[in-house]
Every structure is written in structure tokens, then in C-alpha cells.
Structure 1
């Protein structure tokens, strides 16, 4: 969904990679399954008035959420949680960074993001966290110590 002015329009993904399967963890599957049941109840209550948008996330009457409403709701939730300002799109960056920090292979993260190359993923999404700087410094120091031990 995108907006031109204030009018919302459904549009195709930027590339074929935008249409892909995403593997989810069991907790996320449970939340989405519960939402799907709630949405089915809304649809049943609406009967023939339910619009068939093909969208997964819809309002209780079946109509699509306006992108601006989703953004505003997200901003309110961020503020209520006491978090620093963040854009909804920044969650993509954060998820990629967390995955890379957790040791997930760069190719897996790149595929999840729909990138054509791992270089794009590294250059665009791999924020370096302080822990990684410390690990890098320790790894270099350990390498130097090991070299000294072998030559002594």
C-alpha cells in the first residue's frame, strides 16, 4: 500500500523478490493465527458487506488500513513505550541487524530481506553494534598473543 497525496493505492512489490515466503517463529505464528480467527469473526459478522481486498491486515469492517493511520499508531506506541523516535521502516533495519548480531548467516538474512546480493545486505543493513567492536578488538589481540607464543 502506498499513498499519492492522501489517497492510498495498492501497488506491486518493487521486484519479484518482494513476493516470497517468510519463515516465522512459533510465537509470531500464534499471534497471527489468533488475529486470523478474529478477522474471520469480523468477516462472518459483516456477511456480504465484507470487501475482498486480499489483504491480511484489515480494519474490523474489512477495509484496508490507511498507511498514515498505521504510521500514526506506530508512533503512538513507540512514544507510550518510552522509546526514542523510530520510523516503521527502521524495524526492517533493526531486524536485519539483530539477525546478523545473533550469528545468522548473511545469505539467510539477505534472502529474508529479498536482496539480490549479500553485498547489498551488508552495505545497507549491517549496523555494527558495540559488542561487535569489542569482539573484533579481542580477536585481534588474541591473534597477536598466539603469534607471540608460537615465536617465543
Structure 2
């Protein structure tokens, strides 16, 4: 989809000629200028309302995405790359509450898989 978008943008740039501003941004106004953050936020809000979705800011999508990833066990090293954070520490600081819950859930699953009592002894010693 991004390749198609880029090709369409190149066609627009060719049509505008010297009036096109090559800023390097992916999403721009018709003349190549970068979109203003307010424009993006307003457009997002209109689309969100049309879709019948609950109130959320455009920036809130980042937090929602990161929260869902971490709450569902995504690797803590992957999420900062997706968000563009400079380090895992930044992501960890922002989402500590979710990481702690994921750690507890992983620990509980590991604990549940440990055989108990006589079964544990037989598994440990290799006896049938």
C-alpha cells in the first residue's frame, strides 16, 4: 500500500512540477508540504466518529497499540522498535504496569506446568 501511495505521490509531484515541495514525508498536502499535527488530529477524530469508535486521541493509538502488545506477551525488545523509542528502558518506564502483569502471568503459567508431589520426583529422577 505504501508503494502505491508513493507512486501516486510521484505522479502528483510530476504534475505540479516546480510547485512540488519534496520534503521526504510520507503523508503530505497536495504540494508536498508536511501535514500539520492539528490537521491529522482533526481528520482522525472525524473518521473515528464516523466509525462509531469511542473517544481517543490520534496519539492515544500509539499507547493503545503498545499496551495491547505488551499485555498479550509481546517481546519487550520488539515494542520499542515499533514505537521508535531510543531504548527498551523508555518503553519499560512507560509501560511498567503492563510488563509486571505479563511477567506475573508468565510466572503463573510456568508454575502451573511444574509437576507436584510424587509425579515431580518421578519426572526429576527419570523413573516411570
Is the TM value for this pair above 0.5?
yes
Partner of 2:12: 42
Partner of 2:95: 125
Q: Give yes or no for the alignment of 1:89 onto 2:59.
A: yes
Partner of 1:75: 45
Match of 2:77, SS state, is: helix
Greater Rg over alpha carbons, structure: 2
Whether contact under 8 Å (1:97, 1:127) holds in the other structure is no
Counterpart of 2:36 (choices 58, 66, 80) is 66
Per the TM alignment, residue 67 of structure 1 is displaced from its structure 2 partner at its CA by 1.6
The structure whose residues are more often helix, as a share, is 2
RMSD over equivalenced CA pairs, Å: 3.3
- How far, CA to CA, are the matches of 2:96 and 2:65 in structure 1? 10
Q: Pairwise mapping of residues 1-150 of structure 1 onto structure 2 (< 5 A)?
A: 31-125=1-95, 128=98, 135=105, 139=109, 142=112, 146-147=115-116, 150=120
Per the TM alignment, residue 53 of structure 1 is displaced from its structure 2 partner at its CA by 2.3
Per the TM alignment, residue 32 of structure 1 is displaced from its structure 2 partner at its CA by 1.0
Whether contact under 8 Å (1:96, 1:126) holds in the other structure is no
- Would you say how many aligned residue pairs link Structure 1 and Structure 2? 119
Q: Deviations over 1:76-131 (max 9, x none)?
A: 11111111111111121122223334543211222333434434313313664xxx
TM-score (norm 1): 0.60
Unpaired runs of 5+ in structure 2? 122-128
